[in-house]
Structure 1
Amino acid sequence: MRAVVFEKWKTPPTVSEVDKPTPGPGEVLLKVAGAGACHSDVAVYQDYDESMGMTQLEPSYILGHETSGWIEELGEGVTGLAKGDAFLVYGPIGCGHCAPCSRGQDTYCENVADMPYMASGLGRDGGMAEYMTVPARNLVPLGDADPYAAAPLADAGLTPYHAIKLSLPKLAGGGKTALVIGLGGLGLVAVQILKAITGATVIATDMKPEAMARAEEFGAVTVPGGEGQADRIRELTGGKGVTAVFDFVGVAPTIALAASVVARQGRLTVVGIAGGEFAWNFFKVPYEVDFTSTYWGTIEELHEVAALYRAGQISPDVEYYEMDDALEAYRKLEAGELSGRAVVTPNGRAA
């Protein structure tokens, strides 16, 4: 079968012929419907190397940690699942027996240093292939919902959902505001999630007019980047500042923007992993602001994301690519030419 393989540090992936996998005990073989291309993939093959000590991410393996598909075969001991049913794949895979893993939060596994990989597509063969094996426990049912467009929800849906859910105590009640900085794959889903599960006025900002136009279609009030950006955002809050700010970029200027517009006793969450730095001091951020970061989410939350998707309350913007064009999807991702999420369909896409 064909797959997008990360073979060597500091080297772009290749489309290669690999053996079709066989599910082990407790696993299923999934026929892949869609696999989302993510900036995390680019960071792994472009920026990381052995000097970082992240042995769980050492090549070679198949990329793709945002995956959906249909069960093709059940491994030994798997019951209660049927061939042909559609699922999302919860990517993180922890030890399965520490406290975080017991509550479905494999992202914060206490024994990650002893694990051979971090997630499907991050150290373990992922979904950028015609078939993949998945622990049965990591499957989240899609029902009759379109599995192709669902693929990015495994990260681009789950990551903003986790960040927003943790901020719900701040957003409860009338007169609340939320700001989404960065309207790429995650940011546009974040706007939809905020509209679906909160009563907050949603403000969104980006440098791309087409991305802001799309956010407006989802119900956001938009502010373009550039001169006067922070002033305009504060004006929309009546000068009080934003109740909950979500930075989906994570460079120094966007973090500084977030800090300049967050309200006193508000919450500022940096979700983007661009590595930006912020020099905090007592007087630079309003009093009692929760200044935090998040990483991915829990499997329970992915079930909730899938429920929103099945109900038609959220839907990621996607561009589809056949396996022949998978590397072009990554090129466009690197070049910043995507507004939504690139989804590779290794087995083609039904009409």
Structure 2
Amino acid sequence: MTTMKAVVHTAYKTFPSLKDVPKPTPGPGEVLLKVAGAGACHSDVAIFDEFEEGLNPQMDPEFTLGHETSGWVEELGEGVKGIEHGAAYLIYGPVGCGVCRACTRGQDTYCENAAKMDYAGVGLGLDGGMAEYVVAPARNLVPLGEVDPIDAAPLADAGLTPYHAIKLALPHLNGGGKFALVIGLGGLGLVGVQILKALTGATIIATDMKEDAMAEAEKLGAITVPGGEGQVERILEITGGKGVDAAFDFVGVGATVKTAMDTAARQSRVTIVGIGNLSPYEWAFLGTPYEAELVSTYWGTVEELHEVVDMYAAGQISPQVTRYSLDDALEAYQLLVDGKLSGRAVIVPHGKK
């Protein structure tokens, strides 16, 4: 039996392990990829560090982590056509039943049969890309063409998730004099600033507690406001007192949702993208701007991932990436746990260059 190295979720409330596991073989309709890059996402930290047993059986151990994965086609499973051997592809992570209305329109994230599934996606119940090789359904592969597949790996989540949320909010940002707010400038938030810059003419306000993250957002064209005392007042001042037309909360805890709602304009849209889920937000009619929408989104469609790759190839978005070898993957996760990682850590199993 041929083995390979992989970062494995072994138990809840337990740091992952770097282990030798069997090299996978593609089944019918599947493709084996030699992993180019795998992004380390805070969702992974939630799975192994925050989830309690029984909270989401789809994430029960053991499995290989990594739901932001790119790679080169190594082997085709039975019946697979239209996939080029040796070419670079990005994996669309969500995997639904494949036959319901949501899945047939490419939105496996909202699979109507999700409750009956044993997993949520590649790296989310199914073995993911934090390994030398990974298997994925052929229908989940998005061609990368000539772009660098290593730096493109985070597009599968850190690109797709903000893109989906922003695309749905575009009607609120059409026209002159519009304002967009980005809360949280990690891997997703910084890409969100770039997407807003490319797709809208809105003035972009970005807020975080980290000075280096705000400095990066300023380079990307955002006006930054530090978190803490006076944050809401400063954001409202920038908008001339009317509030923002669309806000995107990439943290998703009660305090950040409150910041978004306290700075929202009438008839605006506030989207909770981050899955902080640590504290509630208390809604009150008289404390909320009229017709201000408060919604959540989750990931995006495979069609949208094609569009995200198009933006990347055009130079409109570029994730902030730090590369780590597979042997150093646990170090990257520890930095993520400790809140010391800016941008996206990408694990490169076959060399960092």
Give 1:71's aligned residue.
73
Identity of aligned residues (%): 66
Matches within 5 A, 1:30-179: 30-52=33-55, 54-179=56-181
Give 2:290's aligned residue.
287
How big is the shift at 1:329? 0.5
Matches within 5 A, 1:215-294: 215-275=217-277, 276-294=279-297
Match of 2:70, SS state, is: strand
> Unaligned stretches of 5+ in structure 1?
none
Counterpart AA for 2:187? G
Write the distance in 1 (CA, Å) between the matches of 2:85 and 2:99.
28
Q: Deviations over 1:325-350 (max 9, x none)?
A: 10000000000001101111111133
Counterpart AA for 1:45? F
Write the distance in 2 (CA, Å) between the matches of 1:270 and 1:134.
29
> Unaligned stretches of 5+ in structure 2?
none
Write the distance in 2 (CA, Å) between the matches of 1:187 and 1:305.
15
Work out the number of aligned pairs and report it: 349
Match of 1:22, SS state, is: coil
Alignment equivalent of 1:23, drawn from 18, 23, 26: 26
- Give yes or no for contact 2:324–2:352 (8 Å, CA) kept in 1: no
Write the distance in 2 (CA, Å) between the matches of 1:243 and 1:55.
38
Counterpart AA for 2:352? R
Write the distance in 2 (CA, Å) between the matches of 1:254 and 1:113.
30
Match of 2:54, SS state, is: helix
Q: Deviations over 1:198-230 (max 9, x none)?
A: 111111011111111100111111111122111
Match of 1:349, SS state, is: coil
TM-score normalised over the length of structure 1: 0.98
- Give yes or no for contact 2:96–2:117 (8 Å, CA) kept in 1: yes
- Give yes or no for contact 1:247–1:271 (8 Å, CA) kept in 2: yes
Counterpart AA for 1:110? E
Write the distance in 1 (CA, Å) between the matches of 2:292 and 2:247.
11
Alignment equivalent of 2:191, drawn from 189, 192, 202: 189
How big is the shift at 1:49? 3.0
Counterpart AA for 1:27? E
Write the distance in 1 (CA, Å) between the matches of 2:213 and 2:52.
33
Give 2:304's aligned residue.
301
Q: Deviations over 1:57-94 (max 9, x none)?
A: 11111000000111011111111111111111000000
Write the distance in 2 (CA, Å) between the matches of 1:50 and 1:272.
22
**RMSD value, Cα:** 0.9
How big is the shift at 1:20? 0.8
- Give yes or no for contact 1:33–1:349 (8 Å, CA) kept in 2: no
How big is the shift at 1:131? 0.2
Counterpart AA for 2:22? D
Match of 2:129, SS state, is: coil
Write the distance in 2 (CA, Å) between the matches of 1:232 and 1:48.
36
Q: Deviations over 1:9-57 (max 9, x none)?
A: 22111000111111111111000011011111111111223332x2211
How big is the shift at 1:278? 0.9
How big is the shift at 1:284? 1.0
Counterpart AA for 1:347? H
Write the distance in 1 (CA, Å) between the matches of 2:242 and 2:53.
47
Write the distance in 2 (CA, Å) between the matches of 1:47 and 1:170.
35
- Give yes or no for contact 1:244–1:262 (8 Å, CA) kept in 2: yes
TM-score normalised over the length of structure 2: 0.97
Give 1:13's aligned residue.
16
